[in-house]
Amino acid sequence: MAQAREVALSVLLRMEQDDSYSNLLLDAELEKAALSRRDAALATALVYGVVARRITLDYLLETASGRPVQKMQPVLRAILRLGAYQLCYLDKIPARAAVNEAVQLAKKRHLGHASGFVNGVLRGLDRKRGALPFPSEEADVLRAWEVRYSCPRALIALWRQAYGPERTREILEQLNAVPPLAVRVNTLRTTPDALRAELAEAGIEAAPDASVPDALLLSHSADLRTLPAFTEGCFFVQDIASQMACAALDPQPGETVYDLCAAPGGKSFTLALHMRGQGMVRAFDLHAHRVRLIEEGAGWLGLSGIVQASVRDATGGEPLPPADRVLCDVPCSGLGVIRRKPEIRYKNPKIFDGLPDLQYHILCDGAANLKPGGVLVYSTCALNPAENEAVVRRFLDGHAGFEPVPFPSAPAGNATLFPQADGTDGFFIAKLLRRS
């Protein structure tokens, strides 16, 4: 277990230095450390938990220690956050173990002189934590929610303005929850029922989803990669919202479909399955190393004959022969998938300012490469109207030949999916028809 905390500490420190994603750093550290399954699970829980709860943990540590966390040495700060997270959120870890392990970590990291401080702060936090006052909503609602949900106030303010206070509170209440795990059945290799039976044998309950066929919702997150059904390419992980975007495009066998921002390829694969393996999905992406991921995935799932991957810039690529349907699953802020990538919340919303223009130009490229009578779907995993409704509005204002088309659960032709209400990732889907 000590090793799990060391791995978690290394990941947290590297995140501060590299500004890299927690999942990528964690995967790399776990591979290096070769931990037992139990230790790897603890290291994972610690990294995601500390990243997600950082603002709350810092508030608690500052209140307990009387010292500003930001002024502490990064390694000391990370050790205290790890200890505080275990004390406040991991009931299965005894308080004494959480404190002692933090002291040992400090010694190993040559902070022997601070081990008394670590011990004192964490013991104090453990004693007082039920009684520490949280900021009150009456005095400053943004600060109160910032501390309670560990979400920067700029993002809370953005959501309050976009969706109102009630919906914002609901979004925040989901922010630190475990996200659902959904898979798409590879119906060219198996059936939902056969896959359910195979998963059940491995101790994983799977239920069909009400909104999309050939999707299964798994009861708990297991290491799916070791299952024969996985290695044989009988399914892949894909959130229900992504599957709904593919269902909205509704591609038919024999058609030509473009997926303009396709890597790592999940939606291209689902589109190919909708088409029962007949026709062509051209899967483009700007980055060659990401195009390789599409090729690998298509090979694994037996879809190489229908999914053709290549590098192309959707903001300035060469014109293509017009397609029957085009998907623009554009690069976005990711503000709908914070449950999966907890650090997204700490990005300054200003860095998203350039996205709507990029997204608009990709949507225009989709329109330019679509046949008259063809269907265009625009999607993001952003909960941010500037990247969603506003982009589609701007597009429709300048493209008289296009009109919104209803699809299930979206009578006006577009839908924002919310984790709390829809049980999916936060997501936006708009469906448009090219009349002429």
Ligand X SMILES: C[S@@+](CC[C@H](N)C(=O)[O-])C[C@H]1O[C@@H](n2cnc3c(N)ncnc32)[C@H](O)[C@@H]1O
Active site residues: 381
Cβ-closest residue to ligand X?
261
Is 261 annotated among the ligand-binding residues?
yes
User: Considering the rule CB under 6 A, would residue 314 count as an interface residue with ligand X?
Assistant: yes
Residues ≥6 apart with Cβ < 8 Å to 63: 132, 133
Stretch binding ligand X (CB under 6 A), from 174-182, 199-207, 278-286, 348-356: 278-286
Is 267 annotated among the ligand-binding residues?
yes
Smallest gap from residue 201 Cβ to ligand X (A):
29
Whichever of 214 and 329 has its CB closer to ligand X, that residue is 329
Strands, sheet with 215-218, edge to edge from the N-terminal-most edge strand: 206-208, 215-218, 181-185, 235-237
| DSSP-based three-state secondary structure for 137 | coil
Whichever of 297 and 385 has its CB closer to ligand X, that residue is 297
Smallest gap from residue 334 Cβ to ligand X (A):
8
User: Considering the rule CB under 6 A, would residue 313 count as an interface residue with ligand X?
Assistant: yes
Window 340-379: contact mask with ligand X (x via CB under 6 A): ----------------------------------------
Smallest gap from residue 361 Cβ to ligand X (A):
8
Stretch binding ligand X (CB under 6 A), from 118-126, 285-293, 366-374, 428-436: 285-293
Gyration radius from the chain CA atoms: 24
Smallest gap from residue 74 Cβ to ligand X (A):
31
Whichever of 103 and 249 has its CB closer to ligand X, that residue is 249
**What gap in Å lies between CA 182 and CA 422, rounded to an integer?**
13
Whichever of 255 and 259 has its CB closer to ligand X, that residue is 259
User: Considering the rule CB under 6 A, would residue 267 count as an interface residue with ligand X?
Assistant: yes
Smallest gap from residue 254 Cβ to ligand X (A):
22
User: Considering the rule CB under 6 A, would residue 266 count as an interface residue with ligand X?
Assistant: yes
Smallest gap from residue 366 Cβ to ligand X (A):
11
**What gap in Å lies between CA 225 and CA 70, rounded to an integer?**
39
In the DSSP assignment, the letter for residue 93 is S
Taking CB under 6 A as the criterion, the residue among 20, 23, 100, 315 binding ligand X is 315
User: Considering the rule CB under 6 A, would residue 285 count as an interface residue with ligand X?
Assistant: yes
- Token pair, residue 58, equals 């810092």
Q: How many CB atoms lie within 10 A of CB 348?
A: 10
User: Considering the rule CB under 6 A, would residue 287 count as an interface residue with ligand X?
Assistant: yes
The Cα-based distances of 255 to 179, 264, 322, 353, 404 in angstroms read: 34, 22, 11, 36, 21
Whichever of 157 and 286 has its CB closer to ligand X, that residue is 286
Window 236-265: contact mask with ligand X (x via CB under 6 A): ------x-----------------xxxxxx
Binding site for S-adenosyl-L-methionine: what residues are annotated? Answer: 261-267, 285, 313, 329
Binding site: what residues are annotated? Answer: 261-267, 285, 313, 329
**Where do contacts with ligand X occur on this chain (CB under 6 A)?**
242, 260-267, 284-287, 290, 313-315, 329, 331
